[in-house]
Homo-oligomer: A and B are copies of this chain.
Amino acid sequence: MTDAAPQTELPPFLVRQAVRVALREDLGAAGDVTTTATVTADAQGKATIVAREDGIIAGLQPAEAAFRFLDSEARFEHVIEDGGHVAEGGTIATVAAKTRALLSAERVALNFLGRLSGIATLTERYVAEVKNTRARIVCTRKTTPGLRALEKYAVRMGGGFNHRFGLYDAVLVKDNHIAAAGGMRKALDALYAQVGHMLKIEVEVDTLDQLREALSYPIDAVLLDNMDVATLKEAVAIVTGRVLTEASGGVTLETVRGIAETGVDLISVGALTHSSRNLDSSLEWS
């Protein structure tokens, strides 16, 4: 995680809302029937969340919230900050709470921590690959329905950056928009005539000819879609810094370094959120 990141935070009600949904999903109407029957209401316990593999941590807020939802006096102390590295076997956090709360919230807490740390960990691998290039690794809108804000946060925790959050906070003009509008000029004219001045405009191009046409407008960025490394290099040369350049399309850990070395400003990687796997961790009892 870079120095800048620890400042980042999640809007607190988003965390509460996501955790409430997850706990309702797990507890249903009958609650934790196993725990309620076998553990007395006043029993207190302590446990440690331990990583079962190396990775970057993200999701301590929802993990803590899960325990505190079921025991408002739970004490959750993290050893590592979101964005920090944990080694296999390392302690991520300790929790002291009612034993019932520990047992009933465990899975929800670990599900958040696992998914978000998995994203942060995969992001960090891409970020490491492009070290010492100008390229930033950015995420896409290919996120899990309902968890976008949390997943985009996890990308930041892994050292990545966020592309737009949705269809509402930036303009991205694709082929179909251009076709529907009747040409790039008409599409961009319509956009400049209507959208707010605080929204950036990016245009997707598939060829260098399209790139040249796009550059004749005062756009902010170009998305260079599915170009090979040689073409990307040429594209960067054509742009010469006038707008931001973003490479996109099937980027993998194997190909990302080569793409970064073309000089593009941004590389968007859908896999960060659509193909990460959970970081494995467990709750160990003290």
Kindly list chain B residues whose C-beta atoms are within 8 Å of the C-beta of A221.
197-198
Contact across chains for A141 and B194 when beta carbons are under 8 A apart:
no
Instruction: Give bound CA distance, A30 to B163, whole Å.
Output: 11
Contact across chains for A274 and B166 when beta carbons are under 8 A apart:
no
Kindly list chain B residues whose C-beta atoms are within 8 Å of the C-beta of A114.
142, 274
Residue of B at shortest CB range from A179? B285
A190: interface (CB < 8 Å): yes
Q: For window 146-176 of chain A, which residues contact chain B by CB distance below 8 Å? A: 146-149, 152, 156, 161-174, 176
Contact across chains for A29 and B34 when beta carbons are under 8 A apart:
no
Cross-chain contact of A145 among B69, B111, B161, B196 (Cβ < 8 A): B111
Contact across chains for B36 and A8 when beta carbons are under 8 A apart:
yes
Q: For window 112-161 of chain A, which residues contact chain B by CB distance below 8 Å? A: 112, 114-115, 118, 136, 138, 141-149, 152, 156, 161
Asked, given contacts A28-B169, A198-B202, whether A180 binds B37 with beta carbons under 8 Å apart, the answer is no
Contact across chains for A147 and B145 when beta carbons are under 8 A apart:
yes
Q: For window 29-76 of chain A, which residues contact chain B by CB distance below 8 Å? A: 29-41, 43, 45, 62, 69-70
Asked, given contacts A13-B23, A170-B198, A277-B271, whether A37 binds B146 with beta carbons under 8 Å apart, the answer is no
Instruction: Give bound CA distance, A156 to B107, whole Å.
Output: 22
Interface centre among A3, A112, A195 (most CB of B within 10 A): A195
Interface centre among A32, A35, A168, A190 (most CB of B within 10 A): A168
Known: A3-B193, A30-B165, A99-B180. 11 other contacts (CB 8 A): A29-B149, A32-B167, A34-B173, A38-B181, A39-B177, A107-B141, A114-B142, A144-B147, A170-B199, A176-B285, A198-B220
